[in-house]
Amino acid sequence: MNRQRCFVIASLLFPTMLLVGCSGDNVTITRPRPTDQIDIAPQWNDVDSRSVAEEMVKDSLTFPWYNDFREKNHRKPVLVIGPVKNLSHDYIDTQLFTKDIERSFIRSGDVTIVAMNEERQRLFDEILAQQEFASVETAKRLGQATGADFMMTGRIGYIHQTSADGKRSIRYYKVDLEVINLQTTEKVWSATKEIKKDIVRKGYKP
């Protein structure tokens, strides 16, 4: 009886021990800083998203629309981040990119950022629910949201070129962003940021 029990326990433990042993020999896990640039594939990545957002936000705030608005209205402009269309054949998480843009504006402290369209709908639903379930003292009133003065929107374009032997390729991303005055529909800022990636495979000969 004891031998049978030992045999069963051994048979259950052996695969687990084998798996642990194999994984320990073949896998190395490191913890790089989130800002470190690590390219394991040529596609658009988190570093591209963050660096483009930071550079373009910084540039947008140097244009006349910003100081003109502050001088005229004696307050920071209110800005909403609109959609950024992905016109490339690559999968690009445009929501991640718009969040990087939003975060860069907030960290600058130079503008007031209001919730994006999909977020506003959830907030509106919550305020509606409060009218029924929350106390009069704590329920938030309808029609009190801050309206945006400007919207930033844009698109990401893409060109992919490959050599005849397939061993070298160029990935070219072009990000176009613009800031639009919501009252007048005037485009008060527009800029382009380009990212080019040269991928060379073993055996390529120019």
Q: Map out the domains of the chain as residue ranges.
A: 44-200
Q: What is the pLDDT of residues 1-42, one digit of tens each?
A: 455 554 444 454 445 444 444 445 677 766 667 656 565 566
- Domain at 44-200, CATH class: alpha beta
b (16+ CB within 10 A) / e for 98-135: bbbbbbbbeeeebbbbbbbeeeeeeeeeebeeeeeeee
So what's the pLDDT on residue 14? Answer: 45
pTM score above 0.85:
no
Of 12-26, 81-95, 96-110, the one with minimum mean pLDDT is 12-26
pLDDT at residue 19 in the model: 44
> What's phi and psi for 63, nearest 5 deg?
-85, 160
Q: Amino acid identity of 154?
A: G
Q: Does the structure show a pLDDT above 70 at 182?
A: yes
- The average pLDDT across 49-53 equals 96
- Report whether pLDDT(151) > 50: yes
